Amino acid sequence: MNVRQLQYFYLAACYGSFTEAARVEGVTVQAVSKAIIDLEEELASPLFFREGRTLLLTPFGKNLVGPAREAVSSFDAFARAAKAYQQSDAEETRKGLRIALVSPPFAKHELVCSAFSQLMSHMIGVKTTIHLSVGADALADLRAGNIDAMATIGSFSDPRCATRVLGTVSVGVFMGKRHPLCRKRLVSFEDLKPYPVLCNDDIDAFNETILAACLKRGLASPQVHIETDAEVANFLEYQEGYVLGVYLKALDIKPLASMHKVDPADAPPVPICMVTLKGKESEKLDRLNSFVVNEFPLMKRMFNE
């Protein structure tokens, strides 16, 4: 068993296709197929049901998608750490703050990350760069020293980490232009109950996400597990599904889809947390901690406006 086999397996599981996995990795379909067959033989159990062009995970395969991703992420983090150390011309970047925002991709996320990077750089006096990352990748990068902190939407707990709450945000629901609730400005859990909500194991198993918090408060929508961007688009457009997230009208992508506020009487305020490694101290982290305590509420108001 090797990391390349696990990478091919993970990509094939996400895309539902050996062909797409091969395209992403820049190899032949035969190479992907052989690697997965070898992996199945080593594990003594099939990972996929193969029916013509249809590729579906077996129950055994579904159980191994998460561990495969974690293994690949840890390997990638190690390689990234080595490369970052060897690139001496990146010294200026290493002097700044590097923060991973733990979130699935969302509309205009590049704009949001850029805006927050510039505001934080100005407010704390340290060049700050923020990028989007999946939780397992961000934690691996934090432990490897590739980033200085990660920001989570929802609470996070790990004995190796120190977590500070920056503030709270309201819950919003993202839905397509044809959704039966699209004309309502404020929606309740009762309104949402008949419609499916997106769930992703890689995202929602990492920390207490907005979905997890709402489920605890009584949200009763059926959960649909989705892995790929294409599935998300189909889910919103044709299945009357919705996605929970931070309520920001700036995230509208009209006329395709829009953000609506979830009734605060139903949805709890969701904490935004800044997470750093315990025992790791530096001047820039001291400034970050000061920002967390004193400046974030002001920054949040500025961004909302």
Q: Which residues contact 157 (CB under 8 A, 6 or more apart)?
A: 163, 207
Could you give the C-alpha distances from 166 to 123, 222, 290, 295, in angstroms and in order?
A: 15, 31, 11, 9
CA distance 167 to 18: 43
Residue 95, burial from CB neighbour count under 10 angstroms (0-12, 13-18, 19+): exposed
CA distance 55 to 33: 12
C-alpha 93 chain-centroid distance: 23
Q: 126 or 34: whose pLDDT is higher?
A: 34
What digits encode the pLDDT tens for the residues 173-202? 989 888 999 888 899 999 999 999 999 888
What pLDDT sits at residue 222? 95
What pLDDT sits at residue 37? 92
Q: Give the model's confidence band at 213: pLDDT under 50 very low, under 70 low, under 90 confident, else very high.
A: very high
What digits encode the pLDDT tens for the residues 85-106? 666 444 544 568 899 998 877 6
Q: 216 or 202: whose pLDDT is higher?
A: 216
Q: What is the pTM of this model?
A: 0.62
Q: Which two tokens stand for residue 30?
A: 């035969």
The closest alpha carbon to 151, from 98, 102, 203, 93, belongs to 102
What pLDDT sits at residue 117? 87
Q: Give the model's confidence band at 16: pLDDT under 50 very low, under 70 low, under 90 confident, else very high.
A: confident
CA distance 209 to 153: 6
What digits encode the pLDDT tens for the residues 116-126? 888 888 877 88
User: Per-residue pLDDT for 107 more than 80?
Assistant: no
Residues of the chain with pLDDT > 90, as a percent, come to 31
Torsional class of 44: left (φ above 0), alpha (ψ -120 to 50), beta (otherwise): left
What digits encode the pLDDT tens for the residues 55-84? 889 999 888 888 888 888 888 887 777 776
